[in-house]
Amino acid sequence: MKLCVLAIVFLLSACYGNGTDKTDSTNRPSDRSTITSNAKITLTFWRNSGNESENKAYEKLVSAYLEKHPEITIDMTLIPYADYDTKLRTSIASGNFPDIMALDASNVASFAHAGALLPLTSYMRKDGRMDDIPASTLATYTYKNEVYMAPLNESSIALFYNRKMFEEKGIPFPSADPEMPWTWDQVLEAARKLTDPSKGVYGIDPAQGFQNAGATAYFKYPIIWQFGGEVMSPDGSTARGYLDSPQTKKALRFYSDLYNKYKVSALEYPADPFPNGYLGMTIEGSWSLSYFAEKFPDFKLGRDYDIAPLPKETRQAVANGSWALGISSRSKYAEEAWNFVNWVTGPEGQVMYCSITNDIPARYSAALQFPELNKYPKNIFVVQNQKFGRPRPVTPIFPQMSEAINKVFEDVTIGKKDLDETVETAIRKIDRDYAQMLSQSQ
């Protein structure tokens, strides 16, 4: 998989050249003049096929936009999630690029580095209302000082806890104030009281167990940040001096200790352990509220469980970034494409989209339009994201880097390997992959 991803990145780079050399956003709008004719302009738009509500929301957005712009046709292509990234990369490399594309935040840097994306900085500054978007959200879609994607929605995670289990053990509930989280020491203290291995009950699942690298990035990086650590340098070029910092190692050691020293976490759980009463606390996403309501209607928020902000050690932190919209650097219709992207990701489009999907809007003004997002429990997700959100490392080698970090968590926790040696191995791999990527793309 690693070689396949690298090969596609290099192919993109070879076809487009180094994007950082050819994507001066100050020239882009004038380089791509609006094409006028009596014929309708067709904009091709590729996105991953989402769930039913996401598909419905996009259909409504496109329909509403076309009512305002009868001179435009939107040719929207849905591609299965599992195939989307590879199909998009190979199609772009072969010259079959869409005008508009949806990308997950973690993939933006590789497409930008390859020169496949049009910088949107000047467009955003002109009429994209950048001050309506949290700076940390914009940073997620920024590579080498250029904004490449326009954010539509956000998601976030929080601490879910079983109220009845807390009451049985006489444990005070954590604060519901988004800016007053428990410390990890407080979580550990409660977890030790909640754990009962004889009943298969454990105190805390700190980061959704051990899943794929993408889940690791979203659920486990915040623990590193909360302890004051980092994963990579701000420019996404090296892990040296960051992944091996004392703060990062402290976070990794604490995570491992939850399983191996304190034994308040388990490597395996039965299906749906939290609503089924096998977990006293877990880290879940905002999407879990609707999942529990649908699948476990007798497991009631406010009666059986509640949520609180993510724990902290030295600081609060949560990962941000979701799917966003960008424009191909080779689109003949950059102005028209931007008009569509700007409307979809603007306040009106975000309200329309999130009213159907129940996601969190990326804009301050759009979030204010939903009363439920401004009170408990959903305000926890919103406030955390807006005030304490952080981009996962913005680097062209994000998949390889995530695999390496995922292996660190597994090796020190499951394999009980030496922490220092494991971290050093990961750093060498990450830095080697980055150097290889540079050499192949020059």
Look up residue 193 and give its amino acid: K
- The predicted pLDDT at position 210 comes to 87
Percent of the chain beyond pLDDT 90?
Answer: 83
Same domain assignment for residues 379 and 418: no
pLDDT in tens, 236-282: 999 999 999 999 999 999 999 999 999 999 999 999 999 999 999 99
Domain shared by 115 and 24, yes or no: yes
Q: Is the pLDDT of residue 325 over 50?
A: yes
| Per-residue tokens: 186 | 């407080």
What local confidence, expressed as pLDDT, does residue 26 receive? 38
Q: Are residues 410 and 300 in the same domain?
A: yes
Same domain, 302 and 270: yes
Predicted TM-score of the model (pTM): 0.90
Q: What is the DSSP letter of 253?
A: H
Same-domain check for residues 335 and 359 = yes
Q: According to the model, what pLDDT value does residue 442 have?
A: 67
Higher pLDDT, 327 or 31: 327
Instruction: Let me know whether 175 and 111 are in one domain.
Output: no
pLDDT confidence bin for 203, thresholds 50/70/90: very high
Q: Where residue 176 sits, what CATH number does that domain have?
A: 3.40.190.10
pLDDT single digits (tens) 270-296: 999 999 999 999 999 998 998 999 999
- Judged against a pLDDT cut of 60, whether residue 425 lies above it is answered with yes
pLDDT at 3 exceeding the cut of 90: no
Let me know whether 163 and 136 are in one domain: no
Is 57 in the same domain as 78?
yes
Number of domains in the chain: 2
Q: How many CB atoms lie within 10 A of CB 435?
A: 13
Helix (H), strand (E) counts: the chain = 18, 15
Between 5 and 123, whose confidence is greater? 123
On whether both 98 and 145 belong to a single domain, the answer is yes
Q: Are residues 107 and 169 in the same domain?
A: no
Q: Decide if pLDDT at 10 tops 90.
A: no
**Which of the four pLDDT bands, split at 50, 70 and 90, describes residue 213?**
low
Contacts of 335 (CB under 8 A, 6+ apart): 29, 32, 33, 34
| Average pLDDT rounded to a whole number, residues 136-148 | 96
Residue 137 has pLDDT above 90, yes or no: yes
Domain that holds residue 243: 157-319+398-441
| Residue 315 and residue 326 in one domain | no
- Mean pLDDT confidence for 204-216: 84
Distances (CA, A) of 298 to 49, 159, 291: 31, 20, 12
| Residues 239, 96 share a domain | no
DSSP secondary structure letter of residue 210: S
